[in-house]
Amino acid sequence: MALDFFAGCLGGCAGIIVGHPFDTVKVRLQTQSTVNPIYRGTIDCFAQIVKKESPLGLYKGMASPLYGVAAISAVVFGVQGNVQRRMNDPDSLLTHFVAGCVGGVAQSIICGPMELAKTRMQIQGQGESLHKFRSSRHTYTGPVDCLLKIYHKEGVPGVFRGLGLTAARDTPSFAFYFLSFEWLCRKMQAQTGAEVGTLGLLFAGGMAGICAWVVTYPIDVMKSKIQADMKNQYKGFADCCIQSYRINGMRAFTTGFCSTVLRAFPTNAATFATVSLVLALHEKWRNR
């Protein structure tokens, strides 16, 4: 049991370090003004951040997910692994799907506030040079300060803003995440007749990440808008959908999708490969 949590922790940290720049671009694109957008697309957003804010601008807000990812990934992989082993048919694809659902729900209570802080930090100081950003005073000095200030201003509901959407996104997302990873690994093993190697784990993890995002991406866009909304522009999920659709049509629900896919593959390749290798190393050590 403890091993699942430990492996998930290491895998999550590896994924965050690899994929955070892409996440920053995704959030900037999702939360920018739809009337007067700053960025024309994924590549333009990357270029502008690096030019105006230095490459370190891509890592704004990384402290929040890095602090929280240990807990989140530990919960996801720990709960998923334990639920899977306790079901009647632990090796079936349906079991992986159901266990992923449970893991997704369990981690959302941590993930919601963490992503709220990350989103607020990522949109802070847009367009400022690194020197100006460091010398200027900003609303939030870090993820903990961000959540404390939100709490003092909006109370507990403010800290958990977007929690329902986080759960609505992550429940099916993690279900398809674990299902697609297991399915791909079985297909590769059936074709080669051997255990899936590191490259295979990287490929399966990356593709599982893309699959998970494709299923729930429109919910994520609305979640980011609501969590970034400090002017109470939106009354809720339905109102956010209606306002976004009126301005941008169906494109409003796919904003930042390219950067998300670019991020999903390396992030989840690193995450799943790390988790699988840690579990495999433990198994070899135990059987010595």
Query: SS3 letters for 81-96?
Result: HHHHHHCCCCCCHHHH
pLDDT of residue 19: 87
pLDDT of residue 131: 59
Span 233-252, pLDDT tens digits: 999 999 999 999 999 899 99
Rg of the chain (C-alpha set): 19
Share of the chain above pLDDT 70, in %: 95
Whether pLDDT at 171 is above 70 = yes
d(CA 87, CA 1): 15
Whether pLDDT at 285 is above 90 = no
pLDDT of residue 175: 97
20 or 161, which is more confident: 161
Span 111-165, pLDDT tens digits: 999 899 988 988 887 666 655 656 567 788 888 899 999 999 999 999 999 999 9
Say how many domains are in the chain. Answer: 1
**CA separation (Å) from 217 to 31, 42, 169, 174, 257?**
14, 16, 8, 13, 8
pLDDT of residue 99: 97
Residue 200's CATH number: 1.50.40.10
- Average pLDDT (185-214) is 92
- Residue 67: give the domain boundaries: 2-286
